[in-house]
Amino acid sequence: MASSDPPSSSTPSSSFDRFLRKAQLVTGLGVTDEERAKDLEALNVRRCEKMKKDLMESSPLVVFMLKHLRLSGCQVPEENIFCVPCQSPYTTTNYTAHAGAYLPHPHGALKLCAGHFFSTQHVESTITHELLHMFDECRFKVDWTNLRHHACSEIRANNLSGDCRYFRELRRGFVGFTKQHQACVRRRAITSVAANPACPSLAHAERAVNEVWESCLSDTRPFDEIY
């Protein structure tokens, strides 16, 4: 005789139940703002992870950087590049939102801010930027508390990653025709160094960038030229 016990709570939801839940999250009917925010957060992380995986396999820039990191003795497992929710998500009015970060300790990792990207190319340039920091630390033993070291790596990362392409700057609200690329590299390098806890002030950041500007702007390793 068939059991009359109710279905286990672990029984998978039906397709209709999943559809209904998705509709609730999209429309906001029957769910809280917190539930909708959590669903969007999870969706952004999944999208970011997929783009990251695809780029690690097929992007000429990312594949090139991973190769040269291996040649320099630094392996970068896929799990060392990870997507997480971050504060201050990207919006159409916030073009300078934090998109990623290089985490040098303990073994070097790249954090990507899920939901802060407006295109696959944006993810690509962010990964490349942070891999350049990793390359500098691996190859040149960067001391991140030394403002000149930090400034040089920021100049190189902004110069070589594609972060300062003309249309990227236009999207940020910066319009210029004379030495636009150099102005972008300098501005972003100063901003990053100024955020270093070891940097006393914006003036110190500007001085550090100015002191290493010429030599670090012309240093395109491991590339032959600016991408």
Enclosing domain of residue 53: 32-141
203 and 166 both lie in a single domain: yes
Boundary residue ending a domain (87, 111, 141)? 141
Q: Compute the mean pLDDT over every residue in the chain, rounded to the nearest whole number.
A: 84
Q: What is the pLDDT of residue 35?
A: 75
18 is a domain residue: no
CA distances from 37 to 6, 31, 43, 199 (A): 33, 10, 10, 35
131 and 198 both lie in a single domain: no
Residues above pLDDT 70, as percent of the chain: 80
148 and 125 both lie in a single domain: no
If pLDDT is split at 50, 70 and 90, which confidence band does 94 have? very low
Boundary residue ending a domain (125, 141, 157)? 141
3-state secondary structure of 204: helix
**Is 143 in contact with 129 (CB distance < 8 Å)?**
no
Catalytic residue (one of 130, 137, 154, 169): 130
Boundary residue ending a domain (97, 121, 141)? 141
46 and 137 both lie in a single domain: yes
Tell me what the mean pLDDT of segment 73-96 comes to: 73
User: What is the distance, to the nearest Å, from the Cα of residue 58 to the centroid of all Cα atoms in its chain?
Assistant: 17
How far apart are the C-alpha atoms of 26 and 168, rounded to whole Å?
30
Q: What is the pLDDT of residue 9?
A: 44
Q: Which of 203, 219, 72, 90 is nearest to 154 (CA)?
A: 219
Q: Which of 72, 55, 71, 69 is nearest to 102 (CA)?
A: 69
55 is a domain residue: yes
Q: Say whether pLDDT at 90 is over 60.
A: no
20 is a domain residue: no
23 is a domain residue: no
If pLDDT is split at 50, 70 and 90, which confidence band does 11 have? very low
* 109-113: strand order across its sheet: 81-84, 109-113, 100-103
Of 17-26, 37-46, 76-85, 136-145, least confident by mean pLDDT is: 17-26
How many domains does the chain divide into? Answer: 2
The tokens describing 92, both together, are 């159409």
Tell me what the mean pLDDT of segment 112-133 comes to: 95
26 is a domain residue: no
Length of the chain: 227
Q: Is 49 a known active-site residue?
A: no
| Residue type for position 194 | A
119 and 173 both lie in a single domain: no
Q: Say whether pLDDT at 4 is over 60.
A: no
pLDDT tens-digit readout, 185-217: 999 999 999 999 999 999 999 999 999 999 999
